[in-house]
Amino acid sequence: MAVVICLSPGIVSAGEPISPAAKGTQTVGLAIGPFFPIRLLPSQSSKLFGTAAMPSWSMTVTDLIGSNWYRGQVSFGAELLAFGTSEPLTSYGIGITPKLQYTFVGLDRLRPYIESGGGPLWTDLGGQVPEQPGQFNVVVWGGAGAAWVLTPQWAVNVGYRFVHISNGGTRTPNSGLNFGLPFVGLSYSLY
């Protein structure tokens, strides 16, 4: 409620279009959400549930690309992934990933996007679950979502990611952990 009150003076009326971000626009955001296990292989037996927080920074690196439904822009940035499991055991993890995103801008305020990233991750799950023998791993993720642009600076985001944590074959076993991660977030664009 407080966020809506703070943003309400800057909210543009529904009839006014909001221009796509200019090349060089920087955006900071925070997304949070629960995660749940996805077991793709018989060797993936852990059922870990928890919560993740993802603060991020990105920059729009292209002008508009295309002229049809796929009209959009590319942004590149970095994201911190911090998570904690709550069931059946308590554990934590933190990692940082480069992030690549393509945002479709043809629907005015509704901005669907696809995104991906990957990078190093530390977690204390090593040795506590059969899929993770060590603490240092790699996280790779991909997903899709949509932003609803409230003002030229503020947007609300919702989306879903598939997340894979693995040691990249550096130790055995290496069946890895997979998670589904629905999320909600808020972002602010700096011009």
pLDDT: is 87 or 79 the higher one?
Answer: 79
Residues 170-190: tens digit of each pLDDT:
777 777 889 999 999 999 999
CA distance 94 to 119: 11
* Total structural domains within the chain: 1
14 located within any domain: no
8 located within any domain: no
Quick one: CA dihedral 88, 94, 95, 96, positive or negative? positive
10 located within any domain: no
- Comparing CA positions, the residue from 5, 10, 13, 2 lying closest to residue 154 is 10
9 located within any domain: no
Look at residue 130 in the predicted model and tell me its pLDDT: 78
Model pTM score: 0.87
> Which CATH number belongs to the domain containing residue 69 in this structure?
2.40.160.20
User: Pairing state of beta strands 110-123 and 154-166?
Assistant: unpaired
Secondary structure of 54-114 as H, E, C letters? EEEEEEECCCCECCCCCCEEEEEEEEEEEEEEEECCCEEEEEEEEEEEEEECCECCEEEEE
83 located within any domain: yes
3 located within any domain: no
Does the pLDDT of residue 154 top 90, yes or no? Answer: yes
12 located within any domain: no
Does the pLDDT of residue 14 top 60, yes or no? Answer: no
Residues 51-65: tens digit of each pLDDT:
999 999 999 999 999
> Which two three-digit tokens encode residue 139?
């996280």
Average pLDDT (35-50) is 83
- Other residues' Cβ atoms within 10 Å of the Cβ of residue 47: 11
Domain extent for 44: 25-190
Give the H or E element holding residue 161.
strand 154-166
